Amino acid sequence: VVANVSGEVGQVVAAGTPVVTVVQSSEQEIQIYVPENHLDKIYPQQSAKINFWALENVSADGYIREIAPMADSVTRTYKVRVAVPQMPAAVKLGMTAKVHLQNGTDSSILLPATAIYQTGGNPQVWLVTNNKVHTHEVSIGGYEGNNVRISDGLQQGDIVVGGGVNKLAEDQNVRLEAGVSQ
């Protein structure tokens, strides 16, 4: 299927200049980029659930077909191709998709980006224990909009300060909002 014609009749082009973009209309793929700190968590044939940004209630199942052997020189991420054998009819070429890789239980925690406190090279959060705050180092696994996915360093049930983190000091007393208990 011809997707784009960028040349004109009679135009003289140099060798290697794209004039026509052709796409194969068989099994379609979604291209994603994975940072190097998550490369060990993915593998070929790993199943994936795909949602489409512009299409509510439309999803598809896929699997990792290919993982690039080398990082992109600009983004330092690895190109991953996710095959989608049964692409929904409403999906058009070039649409944006969100890919959830299925690898058991997700132990990461989603926090607002305003909860991250960074004074040096390592990201931290302020944990509340006995109405006092303490910095705690965390590992960032990725970003989702205005949120940060914490891949390591927190446990379910930890109380984290979500805003105003630059105004806190170690062992400072804080008051919890109504409904939050320790």
So where are the chain's domains? Answer: 26-101, 109-167
Q: Which CATH superfamily is domain 26-101 in?
A: Efflux pump adaptor protein, beta barrel domain (2.40.30.170)
Determine the Cα angle at 121 with ends 115 and 125, to 5°. Answer: 20
Residue 166's CB is within 10 A of a number of other CB atoms, namely 9
pLDDT mean across residues, the chain = 85
Render the burial of 87-100: b for 16+ CB within 10 Å, e for the rest: beeebeeeeebebe
Q: What is the pTM of this model?
A: 0.49
Separation CA 67–CA 79 (nearest Å): 6
Tell me which of 2.40.420.20, 3.10.620.30, 3.30.390.50, 3.90.660.10 is the CATH number of domain 109-167. 2.40.420.20
Most confident of 101-105, 147-151, 169-173: 169-173
Query: What pLDDT score does 40 carry?
Result: 78
Q: Give the confidence band of 120 by pLDDT, cuts at 50, 70, 90.
A: confident
3-state secondary structure of 42: coil
Three-state DSSP at 25 gives coil
Higher-confidence residue of 105 and 12: namely 12
Per-residue pLDDT, averaged over 8-18, amounts to: 92
Give the Cα separation of 150 and 58 in Å (integer): 28
Arithmetic mean of pLDDT, 105-111: 69
Give, in order, the Cα–Cα distances in Å from 164 to each of 73, 82, 125, 144, 181. 36, 40, 11, 21, 20
Q: Is 77 buried (19+), middle (13-18) or exposed (0-12) by CB count in 10 A?
A: middle
DSSP 117-150: B-SSSS-EEEEEETTEEEEEE-EEEEEETTEEEE
Q: Looking at the predicted structure, is the pLDDT value of residue 93 above 90?
A: no
Contact 59/75 with Cβ under 8 angstroms? no
Contact 162, 111 (CB under 8 A): yes
